Amino acid sequence: MAGVNILKYLGWLGHDRQCDRGRQAAPICPQRLLPQPAQTRDGGMRPRSVDAILDDNRDILGRIKLAYGGDGNAFAKEMLPLIRKYIAYVNVLPATQDSFFARPGGLARLGLETAFFALQATDSQIFAGRATISTRRQLEPRWRFGTFAAGLCAYLYRALDTVVVSDEHGTVWHPYLTSLGEWIHKHSVGRLFVKWGEARQECRSLSLFALPMILPTDTLAYLTQDGSMIVAHMLAAISGEVRYHDHNVIDHLVNRASTLVIHRDLRDADAPAGRARARAYLARFLLNAMRELVQSHQGWVPNADRSRMWLGRDGLFLVWPNGISDILTLLEDEGLYGLPASPVDAMEILIDAGIILPMSSDESVWSIRPPGAPEPLEALKLVTPGCVLAVLHPSPVALDMNIALNGSHEEERTTESDTKLRQASATPPQAQEECPAPETPPDASDRQLSLPTIPPIPAVAGSAGIEPRTDGRQGKAKKVKHTEPIQSAIGHYSLRAPIRLNPGVAKILQAIVQTLNDTTLPPACYPMASGLFVPLDVFAARQADGKMALRALADADMLVTGPAGTEPVEYHKLHGKQLVGMVIARQFIEGLDGAGETSINSNAG
């Protein structure tokens, strides 16, 4: 009977549609009915039935039904079972302790609002754009449903990682085994007591353990028809394991929706705008932006000339404030809401999240002096290099030096070293041999533990930059190559573009390949044994997006790829500069057939 009542008011809302979804220029914010807490914080929370929680959120449910576009029966058959299972799992749990959606039932409301705005945004998206019209017509409803499910479960991990729920007798709920609603019914729980754990780095992939209890099997079978990538993109968006070149539209829509919803909730709750704690949820977006830039932006190649990233024996440093400005520009281009207004605000959020390590209690910015820098630079120190550089394959090699400056201590050691050098030069060699240096105990202040650095990849003679296999399961690891172009044996090169390649990318790539035929100017690409190496920055020089070109070439199966799970990106040192780019397979470049390995001399560095 409860399901019939829900269908009645949803059907009534469906007849009262006041606007056309196709004409909406901005997201419509539904009027939220905030549930009134029925208990104090010390007295626990009173659990509620799924129907009661649905009734509290009938406004957003009506909006979801309108955005879905089907009739009442289709909504009740396809969408409502997923919503009911999600609410049964989280029940009245709050999303956070004292930040966004901190009231009872906040986690359910957060999921519903995020799912609604993500679903509404699918109206302006084209999924499977390279497929035929008939195929897109069949896939589009599934893509929209996958986007809704990803938005609904985007913050599901908070029920598994950040809270411990118990009843009045001390019995603890195990979120990996059963839903909260089922546990409440089984143990006849009258009051719920929530204990919040210590703040730590979030682990969004925990949501995948609870997803089988929320996503019905019929729905999963519906999404996996015809072997499409819908489920893979949906799971990547829920778990946060999205690679930058995958072009995951679901993840993009869910991120925009979640930042909009959280920004509105903090604004309505009058959260102080300057508090980094209230906006700590933005830390993961800032960190993901750093990982994307270090893979795709030429100016973020570690230890390259004028790079934003410097890796030494004493850790990983990000140039301040230009590095943070690049991050904010990228996030603004993605259309996220509630972003920090300045690099200083972003730095405070990263420090509060434990991603940035301040120099001292009074100073957050470090002074570094990379090789070749005419003067010291201001920089922020990452807590560990792996938090950003773990996405790079192969791992960058750290400089064999400390690049951070430490004021008086550094000057003291320099003065002492100069004094010893002058004394050694003034003493004859015989006297130096006869008079051994006195043994002095090391100063305790010099005993400083440095952060673990990423070890360099050992060079193998004759490997041409490829590591041999060490066992049957380990793949080949690519290395940075020192590239020296020499005279090519073939005088004419051209692109053999397949039909499936994006025409705009094909036109730009053809112009890049043609630079090999002009001997009066430096080439923009470089032939090599496995194909044609094209740096990413040559696309930017032609007013094109290197990331988009990389995705288009990968979708057309034109790139030379490494082991499974690695990025199709290679690093070469050319004329003393480290370049990041892609290698196009030989069969797509006319003129490489006879060039062989003589067009480039690549030696392992």
Write out pLDDT tens, residues 280-317: 889 999 999 999 999 888 899 999 988 999 999 999 99
Given this model, what pLDDT does residue 383 score?
Answer: 94
Which tokens is 376 given?
């010291």
User: What pLDDT band is residue 355 in, cutting at 50, 70 and 90?
Assistant: very high
User: What pLDDT band is residue 563 in, cutting at 50, 70 and 90?
Assistant: low
Say if residue 266's pLDDT is above 70.
yes
Most confidently modeled range among 1-10, 43-52, 453-462, 537-546? 43-52
540 lies in some domain: yes
Say if residue 32's pLDDT is above 90.
no
Given this model, what pLDDT does residue 480 score?
Answer: 53
Residues 64, 212 share a domain: yes
Q: Which phi-psi region, left, alpha or beta, contains residue 510 (left: φ > 0; alpha: ψ -120 to 50)?
A: alpha
Say if residue 219's pLDDT is above 60.
yes
Say if residue 492's pLDDT is above 60.
yes
Closest CA to 553 of 533, 573, 524, 577: 533
75 lies in some domain: yes
Closest CA to 348 of 449, 421, 279, 246: 279
Cα–Cα distance between 169 and 179 in angstroms, integer?
Answer: 19
Given this model, what pLDDT does residue 365 score?
Answer: 95
467 lies in some domain: no
Residues 121, 88 share a domain: yes
Most confidently modeled range among 514-518, 571-575, 583-587, 588-592? 583-587
Residues 237, 358 share a domain: no
| Average pLDDT estimate for 262-266 | 92
Say if residue 601's pLDDT is above 60.
no
Given this model, what pLDDT does residue 416 score?
Answer: 47
Residues 306, 261 share a domain: no
Q: Which residue has the higher pLDDT, 246 or 552?
A: 552
Degrees to nearest 5, angle at CA 107 with 102 and 110: 95
Given this model, what pLDDT does residue 593 score?
Answer: 63
541 lies in some domain: yes
Helix-helix angle 249-268:106-121, to 10 degrees: 130
Residues 238, 298 share a domain: no
Write out pLDDT tens, residues 411-421: 434 444 444 44
Residues 174, 116 share a domain: yes
Write out pLDDT tens, residues 181-196: 999 999 999 999 999 8
* 98, 105, 299 from 271: Cα distances, Å: 10, 19, 36
299 lies in some domain: yes
Given this model, what pLDDT does residue 194 score?
Answer: 93
Cα–Cα distance between 79 and 71 in angstroms, integer?
Answer: 11
Say if residue 458's pLDDT is above 60.
no
Given this model, what pLDDT does residue 164 score?
Answer: 92
| Average pLDDT estimate for 48-59 | 95
31 lies in some domain: no
Residues 291, 142 share a domain: no
12 lies in some domain: no
E strand intervals along 383-431: 404-405
Cα–Cα distance between 316 and 314 in angstroms, integer?
Answer: 7
Closest CA to 582 of 519, 516, 538: 538
455 lies in some domain: no
Domain boundary among 360, 392, 408: 408
User: What rounded mean pLDDT belongs to the chain?
Assistant: 77
Given this model, what pLDDT does residue 426 score?
Answer: 46
3-state secondary structure of 135: helix
Contact assessment for residue 534 and residue 512, using Cβ atoms and an 8 Å cutoff? yes
| Average pLDDT estimate for 247-251 | 88
| Average pLDDT estimate for 334-354 | 92
Structure pTM?
0.64
Domain boundary among 368, 387, 408: 408
Given this model, what pLDDT does residue 520 score?
Answer: 78
Parent domain of 71? 49-268
- Phi, psi values for residue 359, rounded to 5°: -70, -35
Say if residue 218's pLDDT is above 80.
yes
Domain boundary among 364, 388, 408: 408
Q: What percent of the chain stands above pLDDT 90? A: 41
Residues 502, 532 share a domain: yes
Residues 87, 173 share a domain: yes
Q: Which residue has the higher pLDDT, 226 or 85?
A: 85
Q: Which residue has the higher pLDDT, 435 or 539?
A: 539
Q: Write the DSSP symbol of residue 275.
A: -
Element spanning 317, H or E:
strand 315-319
Most confidently modeled range among 461-475, 504-518, 560-574? 504-518
Say if residue 244's pLDDT is above 90.
no
Any idea what the CATH number is for the domain that residue 83 is in? 1.10.3210.40
User: What pLDDT band is residue 506 in, cutting at 50, 70 and 90?
Assistant: confident
Contact assessment for residue 310 and residue 316, using Cβ atoms and an 8 Å cutoff? yes
| Residue 182 CB contacts under 8 Å (≥ 6 apart), including other chains | 88
CA neighbours closer than 13 Å in the CB half-sphere of residue 111 = 32
Residues 361, 341 share a domain: yes
CB atoms within 10 A of CB 291: 18
- Phi, psi values for residue 518, rounded to 5°: -100, 105
Q: How many domains does the chain have?
A: 3
Residues 559, 512 share a domain: yes
Residues 95, 189 share a domain: yes
3-state secondary structure of 165: strand
